[in-house]
């Protein structure tokens, strides 16, 4: 008789405590391969705990990637499967120079942040190859958006190297299975390159923009 009111009260309390919802991420963890991290996050999730103002444990849940209306979202559920909160992961460049995947609730509250480093040639190559081979369309958008955001941020900083590498890779594999996975990535890159060209981009930027447009038409 009193189950529903009690459950409603409990959920209301949990939502009031959401500012204290934090993820237990291994200290110093840095993601260098998005596709492998995606597999771990999809299958194992990230453990979230809710603590009160004094740091005491109130409840806990597991955050996993779920597909909502075609969009990948991080969804935190308690052990019974009840929704606690949801968030969208977005790549952010922080003032300390670090690039991080940040999970924020619809109100902008940070649930957790994870370091991302694709600066080495090997790690970038792993991500490119991994995206072409990724077949799980349910969560494909997560890797596409993250890789695209990283490339756009580099372009904004004047770094064209990894976008060129991507063009070289697609020039070789554009007719292979999975190459179409790069369409959203190229669309993000092209939008930024067009902006740079319109604002006085040099011949290198113009050439790269032309290459990207031509490649998109092949995929």
DSSP 69-82: TTEEEEEEE-TT--
Last residue within a domain, chosen from 117, 141, 160 = 117
Least trusted range by pLDDT, from 20-34, 46-60, 148-162, 197-211:
20-34
* Pairwise CA distance, residues 150 & 184, whole Å: 13
Where residue 100 falls (left for φ over 0; alpha for ψ -120 to 50; beta otherwise) is beta
Query: Which residues form the domain of 216?
Result: 118-219
Nearest to 98 by CA among 29, 166, 34: 29
Nearest to 116 by CA among 189, 185, 38, 33: 33
Same domain, 112 and 185: no
Q: Model's pTM, two decimal places? A: 0.65
Same domain, 67 and 37: yes
Q: Supply the pLDDT for residue 140.
A: 78
Q: What is the DSSP letter of 44?
A: H
Same domain, 103 and 16: yes
Q: pLDDT tens, 12-42?
A: 433 333 444 454 444 446 777 777 776 666 6
Q: Supply the pLDDT for residue 60.
A: 67
190 or 129: which carries more pLDDT confidence?
190
Same domain, 133 and 113: no
146 or 61: which carries more pLDDT confidence?
146
Same domain, 70 and 122: no
In a domain? residue 71? yes
Share of the chain above pLDDT 90, in %: 30
* Pairwise CA distance, residues 185 & 92, whole Å: 17
Last residue within a domain, chosen from 70, 89, 117 = 117
Q: pLDDT tens, 95-106?
A: 777 777 777 777
Same domain, 212 and 125: yes
In a domain? residue 2? no
Chain-centroid distance of CA 167 in Å reads 22
Q: Supply the pLDDT for residue 188.
A: 95
Q: Supply the pLDDT for residue 125.
A: 84
Q: Residue 183: which H helix or E strand, with range?
A: helix 183-198
Same domain, 88 and 150: no
In a domain? residue 131? yes
Last residue within a domain, chosen from 100, 117, 134 = 117
């Amino acid at each position: 008789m009193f189950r529903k009111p009690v459950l409603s009260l409990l959920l209301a309390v949990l939502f009031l405590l959401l500012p204290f919802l934090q993820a237990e991420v291994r200290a110093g963890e840095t993601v260098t391969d998005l596709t492998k991290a995606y597999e771990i996050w999809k299958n194992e999730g990230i453990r979230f705990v809710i603590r009160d103002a004094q740091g005491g444990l109130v409840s806990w849940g597991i955050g996993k990637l779920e597909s909502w209306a075609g969009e990948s979202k991080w969804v935190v559920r308690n052990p019974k499967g009840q929704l606690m909160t949801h968030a969208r992961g977005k790549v952010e460049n922080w003032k300390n120079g670090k690039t991080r995947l940040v999970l924020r609730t619809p109100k902008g509250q940070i649930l957790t942040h994870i370091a991302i480093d694709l600066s080495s040639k090997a790690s970038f190559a792993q991500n490119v190859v991994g995206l072409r081979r990724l077949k799980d369309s349910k969560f494909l958008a997560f890797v596409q958006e993250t890789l695209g955001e990283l490339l756009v941020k580099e372009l904004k900083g004047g770094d064209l190297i990894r976008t060129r590498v991507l063009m070289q890779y697609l020039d070789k594999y554009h007719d292979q299975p999975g190459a179409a996975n790069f369409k959203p990535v190229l669309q993000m890159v092209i939008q930024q390159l067009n902006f740079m060209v319109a604002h006085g981009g040099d011949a290198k930027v113009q050439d790269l923009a032309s290459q990207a447009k031509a490649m998109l038409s092949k995929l």
